[in-house]
Amino acid sequence: MSGRGLDNGFRLLGLLMIGVIVCFLLTPIAVTVTMAFDARAYLGPLPPPALSFRWFEQFFSDDYFLRGLSTSIQLAVASVSVSLCVGVATAFALDRASFLGKEALISLFLSPLIVPPVVTGFALLLFLSHMGLVYGFARLFCGHIIITVPYTIRATLASVAGIDRSLTEAALILGATDRRAFWDVTFPLARTGIVSGAIFAFAVSMDDVAVSIMLTDAKTYTLPIALISSMRANFDLSIAAASVMLMLVTLALILILDKFVGLNRVIGQGVFR
Amino acid sequence: MKRGRDSLPLLLPAVAVFLGFFFLPLGGLFVESFRLYLPGRIGSAAEAPLTLANYAELLTPAFAQFFFETMRISLLASLAGLVFAFPLAYWITRSLSARWRAIAVGFFVTLMFLSVLVRTYALELTFGAAGPLRPILLSLGISPNGRGYIEILVGAGLLHYIVPMATLTLLGTIQNVDPRLVDAAQALGAPGWKAHLTITLPLCMRGLLAAFLFAFTFSISAFVIPMILGKGRVLFISNLIYNRFSEIADYPSGAAISIVLFVVALAIVYVMSRQVNKRWNS
Amino acid sequence: MTKLTRRQALKTAAATAAVTIFGGTFGSIRSATAATEITAVEWGGDVVNAMKQIEAKQDKVKVNWVLHQGGSGAILPKIKATWPNAEYDYVAGWEGSFNGMVKEDWLVPVTVESVPNLADIPQKIIVKNAKGDWEAVPRAVGGIYAAYRKDISPVEVKSIEDFFDPRLKGKICWPGPTQAMMLPLVALALHAGGNENNMDPGFALMKKLAQSGNIGRIGVTDTDFSTSLTSGETAVGFYSEPQLTAVAKSFPLVRLTKQEGVPTFLYQSGFAVMKNRPNVQATLAFINHCISPEMSSLYAEVAGEAPLNVKAKTPDNLKHLAFTPEEMDKYVYVPDFNVVLSQQDAWSKRWENEIAPLL
Model confidence band, residue C21 (pLDDT cutoffs 50, 70, 90): very low
Closest by Cα among B18, B173, B8 to A92: B8
Who among A24, A27, A154 is closest to B210 (CB)?
Answer: A154
Most C CBs within 10 Å: which of B35, B246, B253, as the mutation test of the C interface? B246
pLDDT digits (tens, 9 = 90+) for A100-126: 888 888 888 888 988 888 889 999 998
Closest by Cα among B119, B92, B91 to B105: B92
Whether C307 shows a pLDDT value over 80: the answer reads yes
The single-letter DSSP state of residue C66 is E
Residues of B with CB below 8 A from A106's CB?
A: 273
Q: Which residue of A has its CA nearest to C224?
A: A233
A121 touches chain B (CB under 8 A): no
A31 touches chain C (CB under 8 A): no
Alpha carbons B17 and A84: distance in angstroms, whole number: 12
Question: Which contacts (CB < 8 Å, 24+ apart) does range C155-160 have?
Answer: C155/C236, C156/C254, C157/C236, C157/C254, C157/C256, C157/C262, C158/C256, C158/C259, C158/C261, C158/C262, C159/C259, C159/C261, C159/C262, C160/C187, C160/C188, C160/C191, C160/C205, C160/C261, C160/C262
**Angle formed by the axes of helices A3-36 and A238-260, nearest 10°:** 130
| 3-state DSSP helix/strand/coil % of chain C, to nearest 5 | 45, 20, 35
Who among A41, A45, A229 is closest to C68 (CB)?
Answer: A229
Q: Dihedrals φ, ψ of C17, to 5°?
A: -60, -45
Q: In chain B, what percentage of residues exceed pLDDT 70?
A: 98
Query: Burial code of A3-41, b = ≥16 C-beta within 10 A, e = fewer?
Result: eeeebeebeeebeebbeebeebbebbbebbbbbbbbebe
Whether C22 shows a pLDDT value over 70: the answer reads no
| 3-state DSSP helix/strand/coil % of chain A, to nearest 5 | 75, 0, 25
ipTM: 0.86
- Who's near C346: CB < 8 A, 6+ residues apart? B39
The whole-chain average pLDDT of chain B stands at 87
* Predicted local confidence at residue C29, as pLDDT: 45
* Predicted local confidence at residue A268, as pLDDT: 56
The amino acid occupying position A75 is L
Model confidence band, residue C209 (pLDDT cutoffs 50, 70, 90): very high
pLDDT digits (tens, 9 = 90+) for B175-215: 877 778 878 887 887 777 777 778 788 888 888 988 999 89
| CA C69 and chain centroid, separation | 13
Contact (CB, 8 A) for C70 and C221: yes
Model confidence band, residue C193 (pLDDT cutoffs 50, 70, 90): very high
* Predicted local confidence at residue B1, as pLDDT: 42
Model confidence band, residue B273 (pLDDT cutoffs 50, 70, 90): confident
Model confidence band, residue A218 (pLDDT cutoffs 50, 70, 90): confident
* Predicted local confidence at residue C25, as pLDDT: 41
Alpha carbons B210 and A94: distance in angstroms, whole number: 14
3-class SS at C147? strand
Model confidence band, residue C354 (pLDDT cutoffs 50, 70, 90): very high
Q: Dihedrals φ, ψ of C336, to 5°?
A: -80, 105
Whether B10 shows a pLDDT value over 90: the answer reads no
Contact (CB, 8 A) for B251 and B44: yes
Contact (CB, 8 A) for C185 and C199: yes
Alpha carbons C345 and C358: distance in angstroms, whole number: 20
Q: Which residue of C has its CA nearest to B223?
A: C220
Cα distances (Å, whole numbers) of residue A271 to A160, A176, A179? 12, 19, 20
pLDDT digits (tens, 9 = 90+) for B114-162: 888 888 988 988 888 777 888 888 888 888 888 889 999 999 999 999 9
* Predicted local confidence at residue C168, as pLDDT: 93
Whether A223 shows a pLDDT value over 50: the answer reads yes
| Inter-chain residue contact B145 with C219, CB threshold 8 Å | no
The model carries a pTM of 0.87
A86 touches chain B (CB under 8 A): yes
Cα distances (Å, whole numbers) of residue A203 to A107, A196, C163, C348? 22, 10, 43, 34
3-class SS at C213? coil
Cα torsion B221, B224, B227, B230 to 10°: value is -80
Whether A87 shows a pLDDT value over 60: the answer reads yes
* CB-count burial class (<10 Å; 0-12, 13-18, 19+) for C269: buried
Who among A64, A214, A228 is closest to C78 (CB)?
Answer: A214
| Inter-chain residue contact A154 with B214, CB threshold 8 Å | yes
Please tell me which chains touch A, using 3 or more CB pairs under 8 Å as the contact test.
B, C
Alpha carbons A107 and A115: distance in angstroms, whole number: 13
Model confidence band, residue C16 (pLDDT cutoffs 50, 70, 90): very low
* Predicted local confidence at residue C235, as pLDDT: 94
- Nearest CA of chain C to the CA of A109: how many Å? 27
C243 touches chain A (CB under 8 A): yes
pLDDT digits (tens, 9 = 90+) for A25-36: 998 899 889 889
Partners of C128 in the β-ladder: C134
The whole-chain average pLDDT of chain C stands at 86
Whether A92 shows a pLDDT value over 90: the answer reads no
CB contacts under 8 A, B 18-57 vs C, are: 37, 39-43, 57
Contact (CB, 8 A) for C163 and C236: yes
